[in-house]
Chain A
Amino acid sequence: MRRFSRTLFAVLALGGVSLLAANQTARAADPQRWSFEGPLGTFDRASLQRGFQVYQQACAACHALSHLRYGDLEGIGLSDHQAAAVAANAMVPGGYDSNGLAVLRPGIASDFFHDPWPNPQAARAASNGAYPVDLALITRQRQGGADYVYRLLTGYGDAPPGAAMFNNRNWNDAFPGNQIAMANPLRAGQMTFADGTKATVPEMSHDVATFLAWASDPSLEERRITGVQVILFLAFLTLLTYLLKRRIWTGLPRD
């Protein structure tokens, strides 16, 4: 029991301290409004396409996006030709040539997204020992989902004075433990969006978080539309059945 109360006290104290610390280091992370929020939300196609560009230019060099195929990009509003063109820019394993040597070929729509690493060891070796996580399900894997991705990408900053930093770690407000191996991947203006949107860090973070939310759950829109149809139909059936029930039960004395 004494251990329990000590633990309880320690937890409360830690919570208080971290709250204070959070107040000191909090950056302007205004709550994000996501296009896919709410029961009927849909993905903002323009944001998805910008987010895909951010992924391609700022993330894809280290982070895989497994389970997704290039053809799936039709889901973010690309035409099949555009998706095929994206695929053709990637070199994927193409079997073996007549001498039995492994060859690469341009990707096609049914190919999975290119994995930047041949194996996890290579990924760690090139990334200061930290494994660049697969992003395909990141918004499902992390508490907070897209909000977490946004907070992480906008959460870089200088370490507070006196913080004992490990080697090759960067201060990040949103990352558990605050010391993240990934260097800040986003700089304002580092890319140009075709639709003229200004590539600020919050904008890029928001768009890539939207894209990753889509990547985690590409059937979200179809699911919601189907849900509305199914529920409307069931409600219609329920109404008819209710009328029938009232009719059949009418005239019976009440219990």
Chain B
Amino acid sequence: MAQEPQTAQGSVAAPATRANWARNLFVETPPGASFPYGETRLPRNQGVLWHFGILAAVSLSLMMLTGVFLAMNYVVGVDPFATIQYLMRDVSYGWLIRLMHMAGASIFFIVAYVNLARGIYYGTYKAPRARIWQLGLVTLILMQITAYTGYLLPWGQMSYWSTLALAWTLGGIPFVGHGVVRWILGGDTLGAATLTHFYTFHILFAFAVVGAVYVHIRAIRENGPSNRDGVEAVAAEDVLPFHPYYTVRAGLAVLVFLILCSVVVFFIPYTFEHAANFLPADPLVVPSNIVPQWYLLPFYAITRCAQNSFIALVLVLAAWAVLFALPWLDTSATRSARYRPIFRPAFWAFIVLVILLGWAGAHPTTTGWLLLDRLFTLLYFVFFLIVLPLIGAIETPTPLPVPASPRLGGPASGAWPSVTTLPGTRGLETS
């Protein structure tokens, strides 16, 4: 075999400018060419967590597949609650596709959030991959809108009231807020018009998610895959061909993931559902505690901090804005938390904080919980706006491994040329 790859990244293109990147996207490289399977090389130091991208793609595919067949059986009509029961009881295998879709939404969000946390921990959002990170966030926003609109469709008590509660967050838009909410809902409260709107939104945004994922993957392709050490692969020794190595490894990950999904769908499908959502929506009876789906809870908690709906809206937009600005808020030149002794505990504190935020959001707005809402929201912003930049300034990272070193599977000599000439290595000069 005389094949000698000249560059480690296989066919990764030279760094693209913003303009030609956009043009490349659809014109110069057709979608089919976006994943040249045979010649793709992946860094050997990708960890197990890098599978979550593929798992998210599998989740999305299953959601689209079950969604299509649900859409064919769901009746957008006067009694949507009975439609779900019809699906569960009368349609052949209706229970299966419905439970797959219902539990699948939560599974999809678990996978997406692990993917997101992975990005933060290993600093994969740093140059040149800020675009990948931001496209991932766009995907997540579209996912949340899709899930939010979809949750109304069973027309249970919790569907009804959490949809109404969250819709009025938009009421905080100055001057036109009320009109915007009325326009989205088709009324001041939820009715048949809302259901038709949300059914359509749900399908539209689901396809928007597919589009966003496609662009996200394209960006990964063009900026090169990240890895757990945060150093760029420079030599043939640093990478492995996607096929057969990662084909079989990802296949294994997908199968294990499917087994876990099956356990949820077939044995504990109602884990993520509120008991109140088995009651048909009743506009006259408010549930004792309105709780949105768990994956929206941290943001829901943030919106609850302020009584003023404008401030609430600003807060939740700011919460997203700091995520988008993360590549610049994190000032450290070292990417991976494996080499950042202070960032590492701070990251875990942040994860605990987000869980606490969701936990507070799941409780009624009594004085005590509201206080916790506000405390955790404050800490959320403190983490991004103060702690992260500060850590970058005071932290001394531990030495990074040299690419193509024995650690990464290369020869023992370690005498390799400068890494700075390859794409995606900016920021390494200083460390």
Q: Do chains A and B touch in the complex (CB under 8 A)?
A: yes
Within the complex, what minimum Cβ distance (angstroms) separates A234 from chain B? Answer: 5
Check A227–B251 contact: CB distance below 8 A. Answer: no
Determine the main DSSP class of B at the interface with A: helix
Residue of A nearest to B44 (CB): A255
Check B85–A241 contact: CB distance below 8 A. Answer: no
Interface stretch, picked from A96-104, A154-162, A189-197, A216-224, is A216-224
Check A253–B367 contact: CB distance below 8 A. Answer: no
**Whole-angstrom CA separation of A51 from B381 in the bound complex:** 56
Residue of B nearest to A222 (CB): B95
8 Å CB contact of A234 from B45, B89, B255, B367 = B255
Q: A224-B267, A238-B252 are in contact. Are A7 and B85 (CB under 8 A)?
A: no
**Whole-angstrom CA separation of A235 from B258 in the bound complex:** 10
Q: Does A22 contact B (CB under 8 A)?
A: no
Q: A226-B96, A245-B248 are in contact. Are A143 and B275 (CB under 8 A)?
A: yes
Q: A137-B278, A219-B88, A227-B266 are in contact. Are A4 and B95 (CB under 8 A)?
A: no
Q: Does A146 contact B (CB under 8 A)?
A: no
Q: Which A residues are CB-close (under 8 A) to B256?
A: 238
Chain A 46-69 per-residue mask, 1 if CB under 8 angstroms from chain B, else 0: 000000000000000000001111
Check B249–A249 contact: CB distance below 8 A. Answer: yes
Please tell me the number of chain A residues within 8 Å of chain B, measured between CB atoms. Answer: 42
Determine the main DSSP class of A at the interface with B: helix
8 Å CB contact of A67 from B44, B85, B267, B406 = B85
Chain A 1-19 per-residue mask, 1 if CB under 8 angstroms from chain B, else 0: 1011001100000000000
Q: Does A29 contact B (CB under 8 A)?
A: no
Q: Does B270 contact A (CB under 8 A)?
A: yes
Q: Does B82 contact A (CB under 8 A)?
A: yes
Q: Does A142 contact B (CB under 8 A)?
A: yes
Within the complex, what minimum Cβ distance (angstroms) separates A31 from chain B? Answer: 20
Check B371–A234 contact: CB distance below 8 A. Answer: no
**Whole-angstrom CA separation of A3 from B367 in the bound complex:** 7
Q: Does A72 contact B (CB under 8 A)?
A: yes
Q: Which B residues are CB-close (under 8 A) to A242?
A: 252
Chain B 86-98 per-residue mask, 1 if CB under 8 angstroms from chain A, else 0: 1011100001100
